[in-house]
Chains A and B, each alone.
Chain A
């Protein structure tokens, strides 16, 4: 059997099992409600979920603007200037080891349990990987390209606009992908922890009343959101695929993981 066929069968089988096992009573509906009852639960409360989705999307959009805007800007500065890079990069990746979720209670004390604390937390959550990826992307630009541009008399600003930015785009995009995904996680997680609105809040509320189908409907909605974001970035990446060769080869995967830029290869 071809690998792709087997893979597809596995996926279909998993979806089928999701329906069959709970229905047959092999898995309690509390642990895993069947696919149909999950979808039905979501459908019946479409208004409530829709409203929650709007809140979450708003928070995600604002956080993403902060996280990605700030991350790209600072990453570009740090990546292109050697002194700050040597000074700051190890500190930043050390910071990366801290489970940032412990900051969320601080933000709730400072900003309350409304959207502000979620936006603050998710912005910081997505900021680091975007910054690290951008810095790495700028750093790995082939120095030959910059030398060539200089030999043709390119000024500093021309080099920035015509060489550095286009050459850094693929890495920045992968940083955006990781950063953006973390922003979504950050918003949903903080909604799950303490909040009064949004999908994460719905998931937690239904969880406390042990209403599994609604919990799973919320989880599915978040999954769909994350996948849609992923697909959008992938689409942009494909559009920009010619750029992929703009950086020096041989950057190891370990570095990618370290930069938070590890991403699906397909």
Chain B
């Protein structure tokens, strides 16, 4: 069904291509256009943030990139190939806090995707250890989620998303449930992990500050129907620091996003 995919040159690992994508939710009473004609290119290793008010379809777009939902029209390719179903070797997904399995320990949670694939116990343990070390949770592997703080739980989630070493990491409002301080710390942590692994990251958030602070590029979306209204390059130097938050460059980027959002809200 995808003749075009055969003749497109193979994209390097980690590239994401979204072409004219539309999504229509059918309900009994009417059809709701969740996304209309969305196109987007993410180069390998970039940190891209999707922002927009509720109902703009940013999470829907992310779910389609993860293969958790199929678009009604258009094509999405990850590393050059379409993604008809979830494939943790190509895409890791991090959800909000609640998505750790409460009956498993931290390391068992990280091992979960490997266990699904029948990877041997020893291999699983070793990979999980590496991933936990990467997210700074060395020594916490035996704890259950309810024994971890909100920030630590999200570190476990990130480790779980990375354990199969996919080139792409998709994050759906991962820090939304955290308090402000933890959120800032986790942002720095995420940037450190990103710099260390070179993954392509697509990150959905409500927070404008978080968006500008983390991103190479910010995609601003608006609702009814969901579409892209702006695409900003964030040229602030890296590593990002707390001082940048009060700088003019940061402020003007934030303002520009805010104006779009206010218009559509």
- A interface, CB within 8 angstroms of B: 142, 144-145, 147-155, 158, 162-163, 166-167, 169, 242-246
CA distance A154 to B102 in the complex (A): 17
Q: Which of B96, B116, B144 has the most chain A CB atoms closer than 10 A to its own CB?
A: B116
Point out the residues of chain A lying under 8 angstroms from B96, CB to CB: 144
Q: Top 3 A-B pairs ranked by shortest CB distance?
A: A152-B113, A148-B99, A151-B93
**Quick check: A242 and B116 within 8 Å, CB to CB?**
no
Chain B residue, CB-CB nearest to A148: B99
- The reply to whether the CB of B85 lies closer than 8 angstroms to some CB of chain A is yes
**Quick check: B116 and A151 within 8 Å, CB to CB?**
no
Point out the residues of chain B lying under 8 angstroms from A145, CB to CB: 98-99, 101
A232 vs chain B, min Cβ distance (A): 21
**Quick check: A151 and B98 within 8 Å, CB to CB?**
no
Chain A residue, CB-CB nearest to B101: A145
**Quick check: B86 and A142 within 8 Å, CB to CB?**
no
- The reply to whether the CB of B146 lies closer than 8 angstroms to some CB of chain A is yes
Count residues on chain B whose CB falls below 8 Å from chain A CBs.
Answer: 25
**Quick check: B99 and A147 within 8 Å, CB to CB?**
yes
- The reply to whether the CB of B140 lies closer than 8 angstroms to some CB of chain A is no
**Quick check: A246 and B116 within 8 Å, CB to CB?**
no
**Quick check: A163 and B101 within 8 Å, CB to CB?**
yes
B200 vs chain A, min Cβ distance (A): 16
**Quick check: A153 and B99 within 8 Å, CB to CB?**
no
Point out the residues of chain A lying under 8 angstroms from B115, CB to CB: 162
Given contacts A147-B68, A242-B144, A242-B146, contact A152 B112 (CB under 8 A): yes
Point out the residues of chain A lying under 8 angstroms from B68, CB to CB: 147, 150-151
Q: How many A-B residue pairs have CB under 8 A?
A: 65
Point out the residues of chain B lying under 8 angstroms from A158, CB to CB: 116
Chain B contact surface mostly: loop
Q: Which of B86, B102, B145 contacts A150 (CB 8 A)?
A: B86
CA distance A169 to B102 in the complex (A): 12
A126 vs chain B, min Cβ distance (A): 26
Point out the residues of chain B lying under 8 angstroms from A148, CB to CB: 93, 95, 99
**Quick check: A152 and B95 within 8 Å, CB to CB?**
no
**Quick check: A153 and B93 within 8 Å, CB to CB?**
no
Point out the residues of chain A lying under 8 angstroms from B117, CB to CB: 153
CA distance A150 to B87 in the complex (A): 9
- The reply to whether the CB of B66 lies closer than 8 angstroms to some CB of chain A is yes
**Quick check: A153 and B85 within 8 Å, CB to CB?**
yes
- The reply to whether the CB of B242 lies closer than 8 angstroms to some CB of chain A is no
CA distance A145 to B160 in the complex (A): 13
**Quick check: A242 and B103 within 8 Å, CB to CB?**
yes
**Quick check: A245 and B102 within 8 Å, CB to CB?**
yes
Point out the residues of chain A lying under 8 angstroms from B151, CB to CB: none
Given contacts A144-B96, A148-B95, contact A166 B101 (CB under 8 A): yes
**Quick check: A243 and B116 within 8 Å, CB to CB?**
no
A167 vs chain B, min Cβ distance (A): 8
Point out the residues of chain B lying under 8 angstroms from A243, CB to CB: 102-103
CA distance A144 to B91 in the complex (A): 17
**Quick check: A142 and B103 within 8 Å, CB to CB?**
no
- The reply to whether the CB of B14 lies closer than 8 angstroms to some CB of chain A is no
- The reply to whether the CB of B226 lies closer than 8 angstroms to some CB of chain A is no
A153 vs chain B, min Cβ distance (A): 5
**Quick check: A245 and B146 within 8 Å, CB to CB?**
yes
